[in-house]
Structure 1
Amino acid sequence: MTRFADRTGPIRLGMVGGGQGAMIGAVHRVAARLDGQFRLVAGALSSTEEKARASAAKLGLPMDRSYSDYVEMAKREARLKDGIEAVSIVVPNHLHFPVAREFLKRGIHVICDKPLTGTLVDAKKMKTTVGKSDALFILTHNYTGYPLIREAQARIARGDLGEIRVVKVEYAQDWLAEAPAPDNKQADWRLDPERAGAGGATGDIGTHAWNLMRFVTGLTPQALAADLQSFVPGRALDDNANIMVRFDGGARGILWCSQVAAGEENNLSLRVYGTKAGIEWRQEDPNRLFVTPVGGATEIVTRASAATTRGSRRLTRIPPGHPEGFLEAFANIYGEAAQAITAARTGAPLPEDVTFPSVNDGVEGVTFVDACVRSSKRNAAWVTL
C-alpha cells in the first residue's frame, strides 16, 4: 500500500522534459491518454521557465503546476493532496537517474524513457534506488508492446520453434547519415557523449534491438563481440554497429544497428530460427508474423486473428484488418503500467499476464552498450556479460 491507496479514477501523471519541439514527449503523452487511464496534470517540461510555461499553456496545464525545476516539482507534488501519482521522464539520458531519484524517494511511480541511463555506474545506482523505494519503475521499451511480439514470445516459450539456434535482429535508420543541422534538437544531445552516454546508435536504437532479442527468446546472453563505427567525420559516438552474441545453451545471435543506412526509415526486424521452425517480424509491417516450420509452408499470423494467443489478443483494441502500430504499442506499455499502479493503490495482486520492462531490463541494456564499447576498443574481442 502506498500513500495513493485511496486514489480512484485516472492516474494523475506528471512529466519531466517533453516540452515544445521534443518528439518523444508528445509520443508519451499520446500513449498515456489513449486508453483514458492517465491524466496529465503537472510538468517540468523545460528547464527554462519561459519555455516550460509556454509548453504547459499549450497543453492546458495550470500555471501553478508548471515547473522549471524537477526537484521543486517532486517536492511540491509529493505534498499536494491531488499531487501526481506517477511521472514520465523524457529528458536526455544523463538526467534519467537524478530525475528518477527525486520522485522515487517520495513514493511517486516512474515511467522512464530508454535507455535506463547514460552510464553503467548510474544504471546500478538506479537499480539500488528502485529497490529502496515502494514506487514502481517502468522502462518504455515500447516495441515489447506490439501484440505480435507477445505472440512470438508465447510461441517460443511453448516450444513451437524447438531449440533456438540463431537469432538475428536489425534496427536500421538513415536520419544521421549526414551531419545534422545545428538546430536539430533530437540529434544534438544524442550525438553528445556527455548527455547521451557511451553509446550512439548502440544506446539509442541498439538497446531496443537488444531488449527485443532478450524479451522474445528468453535466452541469456553469455558474451558479445562488437565492431562499432563512426562513419560521419567528427562524430564522437558510434553511428553503426555489427555485434555477434553467444547465448547460454549454444544459440548464436547477430545484432546490427545503424543510423547511417541510406534509405532506411525505422526498420526494426527480428528473426528467430529453431530446430522446428523459424519466425520473422518487422516493425514497419507489425500486424503480420511469419512462421515457417522446417520443411513446411509459411503461415502468416495476423494481429488479433483466431490463430493468436490470449496474451497477444488482449493488447489489441480493434478487429483484425484494422492496422495498429507504434503509438498503440507504446500505449500498451502505459496500459500495463496503469494496471500495476492501480494494483499498488490497494495492495491488490498484479494479474499474472501483465508485464512491462523493468529497471533490470534497463541495467541489461546499459550493460550491453558498455560491453559493446569495451569490445570494439579491443578490436571486436569477445567480452563476457
Structure 2
Amino acid sequence: MKPVRAVFLSIAVSGTLLLLAPAASFAQSGPPIKIGEINSYSAIPQFTQPYRQGWELAVEEINASGGLLGRKVEVIARDDAGKPEEALRHAVELTSREKVDVLAGGFLSNVGLALADYAQKNKRLFVASEPLTDAIVWDKGNRYTFRLRPSTYMQAAMLVEEAAKLPAKRWATIAPNYEYGQSAVASFKELLKAKRPDVEFVGEAWPAQGKLDAGSTLSAIMNSKPDAIFNVTFAADLAKLVREGNQRGIFPKTPVVSMLSGEPEYLEMLKDETPKGWIVTGYPWDQIDTPAHAAFATHYYKKFHENPKVGSVVGYATMQAIFAAIKKAGSTDNEKLVTAMRGLKFSTPFGPAEFRAIDQQSTMGAYVGKLDVRGGKGTMVQWRYDDGKNYMPTDAYVRARRPAEAMK
C-alpha cells in the first residue's frame, strides 16, 4: 500500500447520515437491525471522519456475508457537534422514532457521560466507542454502558511505565479543562507517584478545549521549572503547543510524555514540526505486520483510498463488538444484549479483546513509543503494543469506585 495524504472532511450536521450498504445476497427474515450512532462529526472531523469510514467498512462486510440473524444491518448516524445537549436530543429521537436496537458512539468525554446517563435512565445499551474518561465505567458507570477504547487510567498506566524511567522529579501538566483532561491528569499523578514517590507536581495548566493560548500556557508552565511535562492536549491545541514550544526551544529539550500524540490524525497535522523524543500513545499503522491488522488495513485502503487512522480502527472495532454481542445473544433484545456484552470476546484490528464483566471496560490496548521525524513526516519509533488487560486496576479498586447497582 502506498501512503496517501489525509483528507480532513466536515460532514453534514443536519438530517440522517444513513449508511446504504450494497444489497447482500441473503433473504431477510425480519426488519433491518438498526444501530444509532452519535458522534462529533463536525466538531472533530480529523478523528470522526476516519471513524465513520471504519464503521462503514464493518457494516459493508457484515451485510456482504449475510447480515446478522438473517437481517440487514443499518447504521443511522447523527452529529452531536461536540455538545452534550445535542447528543441527548439525538438519543431520544433515535430510540423513540427510529427504534434503533443499539446506541453507540461518543467522542468527547462530557458527551459520552451524557449518553451514558441517558442509557441508564432509559435502560438502553450504549457502546461508548471513544470517550476516555474513567468515570464512564467507574464513578458514573451503569449496567447499560460499555466502553471500547483504553481509558485515561489505562493509557496513563502505559505511559507511566516510561515516565518513571526518566530522571525527572519535577513534573508539570497541560490538559484541557473538562472531564477527559481532568481524568487523565488525576490518573497520571496517582500512578506515577505510586511508582516514583520522589516526584512532585509543580505546575498545572488547564486551557479550555480548542482555545489554548500556547504562549501564555508555556510561559506559566516553564516558570514552575519542571524537569518534564505531561501533556493531554490534542487536535488544534496540540499543534499550537508544539509550534510554540519548538520556537521557544522548549522541545525537545524538556522531556514530554503525551497522551494520544502518536496518532496519525495528529501526526499528519504536525508534519515536520513533530517533536522528537516525546513518549506517546499512538498508532504506527505502517509498521504493524499482524495478520488481523494487515487484512483490515488492506480492505480499508481498497475502499477509501487512504490509510487507516486510530478513528478508523475504533469505528470498525465498535461495530465488531456490537455484531459479536448480537450473535452471542441470538437476539436484539436489550437485556439479552447487555448480558451478552459482559465478558464478550470480539475481534479488533489490534487483536482479540473482551469486555470484562466487573466494569464493562474493553481490554483493547494501545501502542506506546517515541516520536520522530522521517521523510519530513512525524512517526512513532521504538514502539510496543500494550494489551489493555495488563493495565487495568484490580477488582477491589473498581468496587471502591463503581456503584454497586452497576455491577448487578
Which TM-score band (shorter chain)? 0.3 to 0.5
TM-score relative to the length of structure 2: 0.40
Greater RCO structure (CA 8 Å; 6+ sep) = 1
Q: Which has the higher helix share?
A: 2
